[in-house]
């Protein structure tokens, strides 16, 4: 009986989850088809550029949702390369993060010079950073400050149970937004856990971040205080490019590429 009950619970969760995703995706498609309809008229629409921008952002949202789902299902092939994290953060901040935060949020970078490299998947790293920035933005509706920092750390005890001591790259993303109550913090890394409501949050952002940290051999931690803000820290083992080199691995068993 216990097994049947837990199976039923699983099916219920699965049903809720697919319902939520279908709902999200449908909203995105409706937004795009609305724009197409408005622009399909033979006379040029006065708000053409604005509408195209809106459609572009919807496509972006749809793409992000699909990438999050792929990452969650573990079907995305990982391409591990030697990453200069500071470089990636600088490029992402200029091209994507600052423009998508709006004027009321200031962005500060505190990047350690001579930061150790990482052996990690760049696409996953970028997705994680963007997820953290989007969460920070959502936590600061009235504006605030976002601080992205990196540091070289030599730890005498591992950053989490079962992780060895040694050299780690610390990436931390801090906001001074609304913060999280303890019960939200306890579940924040869970896939599909969201407080943002159906059609707004997917609950996959922090789960992607945590998955990225783990698959890179590291871990992620949250510090948060309601009313003060949130800091998400990633402890990622220092990459040794000479010993491991570049490789491509696929998370799905039996599907590995040479
Ligand atoms: P989503 O953003 O789609 O809700 P996430 O997995 O990224 O999914 O986050 C899960 C939940 O954790 C959010 O709904 C929110 O309640 C909380 N959270 C995440 N980041 C922050 C943050 N920077 N400040 C406050 N709460 C946060």
Please indicate whether residue 253 or residue 167 has the higher confidence score (pLDDT): 167
184 lines ligand 1 (CB under 6 A): yes
Question: If pLDDT is split at 50, 70 and 90, which confidence band does 63 have?
Answer: confident
Q: Is the pLDDT of residue 242 over 70?
A: no
Task: Compute the distance from residue 202 Cα to the ligand 1 centre, in Å.
Answer: 9
> Are 185 and 224 within 8 A, CB to CB?
yes
- pLDDT for 120: 93
Residue whose CA lies nearest to ligand 1 atom number 14: 194
Q: Is 175 exposed, middle or buried (0-12, 13-18, 19+ CB in 10 A)?
A: buried
Residue whose CA lies nearest to ligand 1 atom number 4: 194
Task: Compute the distance from residue 120 Cα to the ligand 1 centre, in Å.
Answer: 24
237 lines ligand 1 (CB under 6 A): no
| Of 251, 257, 247, 211, nearest in space to 82 by CA | 247
Ligand 1 atom with minimal separation from the 207 CA? 6
Task: Compute the distance from residue 208 Cα to the ligand 1 centre, in Å.
Answer: 12
What are the Cα distances from residue 54, in Å, to 35, 133, 152? 8, 20, 40
180 lines ligand 1 (CB under 6 A): yes
- What are the tens digits of pLDDT across the range 190-237? 988 999 986 678 888 999 899 999 989 999 999 999 999 999 999 999
| Of 65, 62, 120, nearest in space to 88 by CA | 120
Residue whose CA lies nearest to ligand 1 atom number 16: 195
What are the Cα distances from residue 200, in Å, to 16, 82, 90, 98, 138? 15, 35, 28, 21, 11
Residue owning tokens 């053409």: 48
Q: Is the pLDDT of residue 257 over 50?
A: no
Task: Identify which of 206, 222, 223, 227 to mutate to test ligand 1's pocket (most ligand atoms within 8 A of the CB).
Answer: 206
Task: Identify which of 194, 199, 200, 208 to mutate to test ligand 1's pocket (most ligand atoms within 8 A of the CB).
Answer: 194
- What are the tens digits of pLDDT across the range 145-183? 999 999 999 999 999 998 999 999 999 999 999 999 999
24 lines ligand 1 (CB under 6 A): no
């Amino acid at each position: 009986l216990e097994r049947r009950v837990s199976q039923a619970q699983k099916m219920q969760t699965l049903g809720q989850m697919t319902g939520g995703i279908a709902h999200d995706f449908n909203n995105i498609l409706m937004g795009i088809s609305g724009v197409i309809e408005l622009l399909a008229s033979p006379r040029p629409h006065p708000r053409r550029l604005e509408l195209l921008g809106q459609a572009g952002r919807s496509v972006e949202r749809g793409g992000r949702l699909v990438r999050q789902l792929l990452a969650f299902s573990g079907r995305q092939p990982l391409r591990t390369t030697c990453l200069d994290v500071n470089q990636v953060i600088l490029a992402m901040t200029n091209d994507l993060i600052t423009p998508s935060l709006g004027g009321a949020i200031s962005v500060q970078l505190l990047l350690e010079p001579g930061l150790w490299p990482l052996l990690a998947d760049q696409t996953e790293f970028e997705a994680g950073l963007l997820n953290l920035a989007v969460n920070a933005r959502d936590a600061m509706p009235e504006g605030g400050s976002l601080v992205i920092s990196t540091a070289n750390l030599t730890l005498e005890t591992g950053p989490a149970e079962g992780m060895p001591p040694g050299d780690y790259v610390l990436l931390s993303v801090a906001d001074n937004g609304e913060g999280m109550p303890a019960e939200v913090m306890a579940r924040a890394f869970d896939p599909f856990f969201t407080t943002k409501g159906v059609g707004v949050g997917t609950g996959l952002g922090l789960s992607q971040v945590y998955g990225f940290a783990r698959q890179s051999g590291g871990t992620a931690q949250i510090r948060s205080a309601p009313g003060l803000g949130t800091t998400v820290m990633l402890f990622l083992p220092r990459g040794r490019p000479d010993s491991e080199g570049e490789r491509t691995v696929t998370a799905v068993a039996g599907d590995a590429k040479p």
